[in-house]
Structure 1
């Protein structure tokens, strides 16, 4: 339990703007990364971050101090992302191409001291392939895979964020991983996977 966050939430609830600003500073980048990975669009990720903090601020009375603040704020952000995905599902293909260079830094796989043009090209292709495969995941697997592998959350934390049993999370992580493996093998011949 992070007592600093709980204390800041209490202070914010009582009208302390500096305490709320500290919470924003602590979470704005993490929430942006989460939203960007789920939605693959920078402007939508920024909207989600703003909407998340707006909801947090207007619902501080509802925050249960026995729960981790991070779980609560991640649940809000994840639900907003899922709602956004559902709304655009009818007119947006999850296989759509990413604009060149947008978000490429979020998917850096291996830092290299001496990157050659060939290795940078291979790395950017690999990043693109992984990003495309994650984008093509069915909605119910996408959020658990992103939270598990890109935000390094435990199965219990994911269960808390998504409000589902750990057994369901475990199944969805496994099936999502299998879906990704098959997708990458089929489309890219299984090279270096």
Structure 2
């Protein structure tokens, strides 16, 4: 197995979930996933295998940000009328009832994450899905580490409140 195949097998599933959560659309996630791997694997500098994962997630995040800026410019000219929903990725439970409960919990957590303001959502996704350290997130987003900590803290508090509200509404 060559380096490219090994990296795709090792980091592919995590990167795809990350792309899907960022884009909220399978088609766009597929494109972002593919573009990120192509760019990372054709990178013109020597890549340290230890740093490849970080590079891969950083590329995906930056490409997503670029795409959002393009979308915002286009949307000012011709507004988009429908919003895509994030499809939930859940582990299979041992029973149908457990599967349904897990799926509902996962949907609510995903909705709560998607309702976060973009700066908080980015930090949450990079920290929990991409397993970035606070320092890596700060470097990726060109922010002070204290700002990353603050955003993560407020994101957690916001998620707790939003999930409490959901439980009270049921």
Give TM-score, length-normalised by structure 1: 0.69
1:142 is aligned to 2:121: yes
User: What residue ranges of structure 1 are gaps of 5+ in the alignment?
Assistant: 1-16
Matched with 1:165 is 144
Matched with 1:54 is 38
User: What residue ranges of structure 2 are gaps of 5+ in the alignment?
Assistant: none
Cα gap change, 1:187 to 1:64, in 2 (>3 Å): same
Matches within 5 A, 1:1-193: 18-61=2-45, 65=48, 68-88=51-71, 90=75, 91=79, 96=83, 98=85, 102=87, 104=88, 106-108=89-91, 112-113=93-94, 115-117=95-97, 119-189=98-168
Shift of 1:116: 4.8
Shift of 1:173: 0.6
Counterpart-to-counterpart distance in 2, 1:98 and 1:134: 12
Contact 1:74/1:161 (<8 A) preserved? no
Shift of 1:144: 0.8
Deviations 1:105-138 (A, max 9, x none): x244xx643x353x43332222111111111211
SS of corresponding position for 1:60: coil
Cα gap change, 1:76 to 1:60, in 2 (>3 Å): same
Give TM-score, length-normalised by structure 2: 0.76
Contact 2:19/2:60 (<8 A) preserved? yes
Cα gap change, 1:122 to 1:93, in 2 (>3 Å): farther
SS of corresponding position for 1:59: coil
SS of corresponding position for 1:78: helix
Matched with 1:7 is none
Counterpart-to-counterpart distance in 2, 1:125 and 1:181: 16
Cα gap change, 1:58 to 1:121, in 2 (>3 Å): closer
Counterpart-to-counterpart distance in 1, 2:93 and 2:30: 29
How many residues are matched? Answer: 165
SS of corresponding position for 2:143: coil
The higher radius of gyration belongs to 1
